[in-house]
Amino acid sequence: MQKKSFFNSLIFKLLLGIIIGIFVGNISNESFIAIIDAIKRILGDVIGYVVPLIVLGFITPAIVSLKESAGKILSTSLLICYISSVGAATLSFIAGRIIIPHLNIASQVGAGNEIPEAIFKLSISPIMPVMTALITSVLIGLAVLGTGSSTWESLLKEFNNVILWIVDKVVIRILPLYIGVTFAELSYQGTIINELPVFLKVILIVIVGHFIWMTLLYSIAGIISKANPREVYRHYAPAYVTALGTMSSAATLSVALKCASKSKVLDPKIRDFVIPLCSNTHLCGSVLTEVFFVMTVSQILTGQLPETSSMITFILLLGIFAIAAPGVPGGTVVASLGLIISVLGFNDTGTALMLSIFALQDSFGTACNVTGDGAIALMVTGIFKKVPGHGNNPVYVPEENAEAK
């Protein structure tokens, strides 16, 4: 049963796509690679077309849903989630500046055989630029909150479900083929094999970064709550392992709540509110990974790291995108494809490489996200409600919200 599950998993399909793509690229002639290039361009256009829809379909409903939750505790939790994501991304950026130049990455992609012109072309333009979609999402979300329009609120929730279906049934389904044809081109060019060891190195580096960030999060949580954070994280091993297997915060939620319920220093009402909230909004491990990977891919493709100003913009916006990322494997990088393209200027090859190496470590990023949620719950407990055994004044949490979560 486990083997069947693995063979049906996205990571297996992506690995298979990479392996087949490299093999096909090695044996392809100029005519066949031209066909592969045409397929790659069409698939890339389809993914690019969906990106603004993802922004509209997840950012706007996320803004509208704010009114359904518990006021100050919600706002504080979301702010901490954003700060954690931006902080993790900043740590990754600094580490990337220090480490990546010493990884001996040779910018050779494209230095071998040239890709011939595609045998046919089909241009599919997105309905609007990504940044236009972001501004539109924010304005519509705020307008729906301001007017209290129940019709638009219901419509946006349905739209969110529709876009999630498109991501899950279309984008995720074509990713293995898209990545396969991309690696076929890279293999045809003759240099991709030299870069595979680099991918393994950066995956190991970001996993170490995950544990560094989790340590920092729990240390800060202990200071804020004046409680021993070990009383939270020592219960989280089952949730961490479950996240490794599922690659989904949502699928791990029940296990995470069970682990957190064993802690004696988390207030039950706040715990049952914050943990489900964070499962969809706290993606520190994913953004830490993505920042390091975009810098690595930039070094591979262009021979240099992205400009600092571009990275700062990317990090600040990535924290927002992470809060509304779709709940599917690789959801963070899928939701932020528009940023990767518009802010960092990545081409089709760059986005395909990002999707590939991100998916290969996605289980570790998810495990970091889930385990970090316990630290957020401890911080919020310390801020708003007394930690059991301490003298803080309690704060009211609406029963309906606590029970619903």
Q: Which two tokens stand for residue 151?
A: 């019709």
Query: Quick one: pLDDT at residue 127?
Result: 86
Distance between CA atoms of residues 271 and 275, nearest Å:
6
Q: What is the pLDDT of residue 51?
A: 73
Res 196: pLDDT: 67
Give 158's pLDDT tier (boundaries 50, 70, 90): very high
In terms of C-beta density within 10 A (0-12 exposed, 13-18 middle, 19 or more buried), how is residue 300 classed? buried
pLDDT band of 405, cuts 50, 70, 90: very low
Q: For 311-324, what is each residue's pLDDT tens digit?
A: 999 999 888 877 76
Average pLDDT over residues 74-101: 90
What integer pLDDT is reported at residue 363 of this predicted model? 76
Residue 269 pLDDT greater than 70, yes or no: yes
Mean pLDDT throughout 330-358? 77
297 residue type, one letter: V
Note the pTM of the prediction, 2 decimals: 0.69
Find the mean pLDDT for residues 18-32: 85
Q: Per-residue pLDDT tens for 2-20?
A: 444 667 766 677 778 878 8
pLDDT over 90 percentage in the chain: 16
pLDDT confidence of residue 339 = 80
Residue with tokens 């990337």: 96
CB 337 within 8 A of CB 44: no
pLDDT confidence of residue 393: 42
Work out the average pLDDT over 122-133: 78
Higher per-residue confidence, 334 vs 166: 166
pLDDT at 47 over 60: yes
> What pLDDT score was predicted for residue 329?
54
pLDDT at 199: 76
User: What is the pLDDT, as a whole number, of residue 195?
Assistant: 62
d(CA 204, CA 300): 18
Residue 404: band (very low, low, confident or very high) from pLDDT cuts 50, 70, 90: very low
Phi and psi angles of residue 228, each rounded to the nearest 5 degrees, phi first: -80, 115
Highest CATH level, class, for 7-399: mainly alpha
The per-residue pLDDT for 403 is 35
In whole angstroms, how large is the CA radius of gyration of the chain? 22
- Over the chain, what HEC string results? CHHHHHHCCHHHHHHHHHHHHHHHHHHCCHHHHHHHHHHHHHHHHHHHHHHHHHHHHHHHHHHHHHHHCCHHHHHHHHHHHHHHHHHHHHHHHHHHHHHHHHCCCCCCCCCCCCCCCCCCCCCCCCCCCHHHHHHHHHHHHHHHHHHCCHHHHHHHHHHHHHHHHHHHHHHHHHHHHHHHHHHHHHHHHCCHHHHHHHHHHHHHHHHHHHHHHHHHHHHHHHHHHCCCCHHHHCCCHHHHHHHHHHCCHHHHHHHHHHHHHCCCCCCHHHHHHHHHHHHHHCCHHHHHHHHHHHHHHHHHHHCCCCCHHHHHHHHHHHHHHHHCCCCCCCHHHHHCHHHHHHCCCCCHHHHHHHHHHHHHHHHHHHHHHHHHHHHHHHHHHHHHCCCCCCCCCCCCCCHHHHHHC
Mean pLDDT, residues 111-121 = 65
C-alpha angle 114-118-122 in degrees, rounded to nearest 5 = 145
Tens of pLDDT, residue by residue over 53-67, are 877 887 788 677 656
Where does the pLDDT of residue 1 fall: very low under 50, low under 70, confident under 90, or very high at 90 and above?
A: very low
Of residues 279 and 212, more confidently modeled: 212
Q: State the chain's mean pLDDT as an integer.
A: 78
More confident residue, 190 or 372: 372
The structure tokens listed for 189 are: 């060019």
For residues 173-201, average pLDDT: 75
Q: How far is CA 180 from CA 22, 183, 362, in A?
A: 8, 5, 18
